[in-house]
Amino acid sequence: MKFTSIGKAFVVTAAAASLAVGMTACGNDNKSGTASSTSGSSAECGGKNALTAEGSTAQQNAIAEFNKAWGQACSGKNLSYNGTGSGAGRQQFIAKQVDFAGSDSALAKEQIEKAAERCGGNPAWNLPLVFGPVAMAYHLEGVSKLVVNADVLAKIFQGEIKKWNDPAIAALNAGTTLPDTDIKPVYRSDSSGTTDNFQKYLAAAAPESWKKGAGSEFQGGAGEGAQKSAGVVQAVQATPGAIGYVEKSPAAAAGLPFAQIDTGSGAVELTDDNAKKAIASAKFAKEGNDLALDLKSLYSTKEAGAYPLVLATYEIVCSKGYDADTSAAVKSFLKVAANQGQANLSKAGYIPLPDAFKARLLQSVDAIA
């Protein structure tokens, strides 16, 4: 498509321009790998062979895919990623123990300064690389299509709507008879980025209904908690009348039905394209190359055909301040992840990057010195 080729051309010129800038600005070590691309592959493969990263478990499978692609595009390269949780990942990044961190949320305000210290006085950037859709899985016999919206979800998870045949739900599901059973909401009982993003979504999309704030612990006041995504899937499967929020891939693997979300312009199913539309409409919180998303704009999107409940996970990198080897390796990995690594993402349950977004992301990656 015309747009794709414009995007590609843009990326190539941006890469060439930043190569020229990079060679002068970044370090005086001449063996910095910016000039040594392997013959026959379009990937830059410079820098050290072993990268380390740590953090979010939500993006673990995506990182594994990216690592495979990186190893194929650049032989001998490997990233060891440790899924210890977003909080631990950010901490280890600030403590200089790992090259970059994978995190379900951008750096907290108190951490921005410490991260800048870690990067030798330069700011750390949040680059959203992996998007995972969050599904509303439910267990209702005989109901094959269920439509909800943020308002109804907020009330369900606060315990205000207690039965499936409540008029608020019935209004969205004309043509389906909902049974007179109790609703059993299921939440994540462990500290989780999915919970954080779900609560942020409810706060952004239904602010007059959701009164409980956000955070990685569920604060809604109703329901039962299960341990990790596997636990939520099992709970929904075992409990008639249950509804729970969980990442798409474990729920799809178990064969659970997903509810469709209505943002005001009709029910939207959870598909890659619908999620991409929501991502494409998201705005960034700041100008410049720190691409932390303004999550309110993502979650309160009213665009037709967009599925808003998407978990954005970031790679937190230094904008400058890496030694030359690390910097080249990080850039190489991120570029391969954004290009070759996107091929198998959908099968792994994540959303491939929309094109305009990818271009913007690669622009920031190139600006890493």
Partner 1 sequence: MTVTTPNPADAGSGEALAAPFPEPTPVSLDPLKGSKVRMGDRVFRLLAEGSGVLIVALIAAIGVFLLWRAIPALARNKENFFTFGGNWVTTDTSAMHFGILDLLQVTVFVSVFALLIAMPVALGIAIFQTQYAPRRLAGPLAYVVDLLAAVPSIVYGVWGLYVLAPVLKPFALWLNENLDWLFLFKTGNASVAGGGTVFTAGIVLAVMILPIITAVSREVFVQTPRGQIEAALALGATRWEVVRTTVLPFGLSGYISGAMLGLGRALGETIALLIILRGTQTQFSWTLFDGGYTFASKIAATASEFNDQYKAGAYIAAGLVLFILTFVVNSAARAVVAGRGAK
Using CB under 8 A as the binding rule, whether residue 300 contacts partner 1 is answered as no
Choices 117-125, 231-239, 314-322, 328-336 (CB under 8 A): range interacting with partner 1: 231-239
Q: How far is the CB of 234 from partner 1 (least distance, A)?
A: 7
Helix-helix angle 193-205:150-157, to 10 degrees:
120
Only one residue has tokens 């391969």, namely: 336
Q: How far is the CB of 91 from partner 1 (least distance, A)?
A: 5
Exposed, middle or buried by CB within 10 Å (0-12, 13-18, 19+), for 267?
middle
106 within 8 A of 86, measured Cβ to Cβ? no
Using CB under 8 A as the binding rule, whether residue 288 contacts partner 1 is answered as no
Only one residue has tokens 């600030």, namely: 94
Using CB under 8 A as the binding rule, whether residue 122 contacts partner 1 is answered as no
Exactly one of 35, 238, 253, 304 binds partner 1 (CB under 8 A); which one? 238
Backbone angles phi, psi at 157, to 5 degrees: -80, -5
Exposed, middle or buried by CB within 10 Å (0-12, 13-18, 19+), for 17?
exposed
Exposed, middle or buried by CB within 10 Å (0-12, 13-18, 19+), for 239?
middle
Using CB under 8 A as the binding rule, whether residue 224 contacts partner 1 is answered as yes
Exactly one of 33, 87, 250, 341 binds partner 1 (CB under 8 A); which one? 87
Whole-angstrom distance, CA of residue 158 vs CA of residue 161: 8
Q: Which is nearer to partner 1, 220 or 341 (CB)?
A: 220
Exactly one of 32, 216, 260, 327 binds partner 1 (CB under 8 A); which one? 216
Using CB under 8 A as the binding rule, whether residue 221 contacts partner 1 is answered as yes
Helix-helix angle 272-280:355-366, to 10 degrees:
50
Using CB under 8 A as the binding rule, whether residue 117 contacts partner 1 is answered as no
Choices 69-77, 117-125, 187-195, 269-277 (CB under 8 A): range interacting with partner 1: 187-195
Q: Which is nearer to partner 1, 83 or 128 (CB)?
A: 83
Residues that bind partner 1 (CB under 8 A): 84-88, 90-91, 159, 184, 187, 189-191, 215-227, 231, 234-235, 238-240, 242
